[in-house]
Amino acid sequence: MSATERVCSDLDAALDELRGAGFRLDSIYPADEPHTALLSRGKEQVRLTTLAGSALPAGMPPFTRQFLVTRAGEQGAPGRAGMIYRDLIPGRLGGRYIASHITIPKGGAVADWVHYHRVAVQLIAVRRGWVKVVYEGQGEPFVMRPGDLVLQPPQIRHRVLGSSAGLEVVEISCPALHETLADHDLDLPTAIDETRRFGGQSFARHIAADAQWTPWQGGEAQVTPIRDATGGIAEVKFVRATGASPIRFEPHDGELVFGFVLEGSARVEVREGFSLGPADSFVIPPGEPWALAGASPDFRLLHVTTARLG
Out of 170, 204, 238, pick the residue that ends a domain. 204
- Classify residue 218 by burial, with Cβ atoms within 10 Å: 0-12, 13-18, 19+: middle
Q: Are residues 42 and 93 in the same domain?
A: no
Out of 204, 238, 270, pick the residue that ends a domain. 204
Domain count across the chain:
3
Q: Are residues 90 and 163 in the same domain?
A: yes
223-243: b (≥16 Cβ within 10 Å) or e = bbbbbebbeebbbbbbbbbee
What does the pLDDT read at residue 77?
86
Domain assignment present for residue 58? The answer is no
At 146-201, the pLDDT tens digits run 999 999 999 999 999 999 999 999 999 999 999 999 999 999 999 999 999 999 99
User: Which residues of the chain carry a pLDDT beneath 70?
Assistant: 1
Q: Are residues 158 and 251 in the same domain?
A: no
- Give the DSSP H or E segment for 173: strand 167-174
Residue 29, domain extent: 4-49
Domain assignment present for residue 294? The answer is yes
What does the pLDDT read at residue 79?
82
CA dihedral 269, 273, 278, 283 (to 10 degrees): -80
What secondary structure letter does DSSP report for 165?
T
Q: Are residues 94 and 187 in the same domain?
A: yes
Q: Are residues 152 and 131 in the same domain?
A: yes
What does the pLDDT read at residue 243?
84
Neighbours of 87 (CB within 10 A): 18
pTM (2 d.p.)? 0.94
CATH number of domain containing 272? 2.60.120.10
What does the pLDDT read at residue 81?
77
Q: Are residues 215 and 195 in the same domain?
A: no
Q: Are residues 231 and 169 in the same domain?
A: no
d(CA 274, CA 205): 32
Out of 180, 204, 228, pick the residue that ends a domain. 204
What does the pLDDT read at residue 1?
60
Domain assignment present for residue 60? The answer is no
CA dihedral 152, 154, 159, 165 (to 10 degrees): 40
Q: Are residues 220 and 255 in the same domain?
A: yes
Q: Are residues 154 and 107 in the same domain?
A: yes
